[in-house]
Amino acid sequence: MQKDIILLGGGGHCKSVIDVIEQEGSFQIKGVLDVAEKLGQEVMGYPIIGTEEDLPAWLKETSFALVTVGQVRSSTLRMKLYEKIKAAGGQLPLIISPKAYVSPHAQIGEGSIVMHGACVNAGARVGANAIINSQSLVEHDAHIGDHCHISTGAIINGDCRVGNYVLIGSRAALRQGISIADEVLIGMGSVVLHDITEPGIYAGNPLRKLGRVDNQT
């Protein structure tokens, strides 16, 4: 029997999440919460039924909710919405596409989503509220922190350690055993051959630091 679920955020990432949820089949989407200006609109046929302020009321009807805001530069909004669901007593399920592979020897935290074509291999660990996006690879024994986005086609090789609030851009690749600090953004197509010990934006091959991420204090 399908369980009702509320989605928080009605943008492009939400559309991809909806497709995964429909394919996975465990949940029926009751509606989407977004900004007040979008009330009455739909996202792929599902109504926008309120704003984040309405979350506690909707969680009285269904206890399940998922953050469907994307993470392009900063994890701040995804983290805020995750904490709001927790504070309201909601449950954040793990969603795994039937077109992905997750080893039975891997661990993935609540509120995370593994999208079409992704692979999370044996011994890997992924934290809460993470996006493991389409065609990405989290290899054996790699550890991914909370509130991270491993973008489309990114490669996290074996034994890597990725901190919290990290974004790994599309087609970026981390050499085996690399460690990445908290609050790091790795640009699209970058090649990471050495540890990153300080927060910031990094890109290129060879990799270089370009600036600060939005959620750094």
Domains belonging to the chain, first-starting first, are 3-87 (3.40.50.20), 95-207 (2.160.10.10)
Rounded Cα distance, 44 and 38, in Å? 14
Question: Is the CB of residue 59 less than 8 Å from the CB of residue 151?
Answer: no
pTM for the whole structure: 0.94
pLDDT (tens digit per residue) in 127-146: 999 999 999 999 999 999 99
Tens of pLDDT along 73-125?
A: 788 999 999 999 999 999 999 999 999 999 999 999 999 999 999 999 999 99
pLDDT at 1: 82
Q: What is the pLDDT of residue 181?
A: 97
Residue 161's pLDDT band (boundaries 50, 70, 90)?
Answer: very high
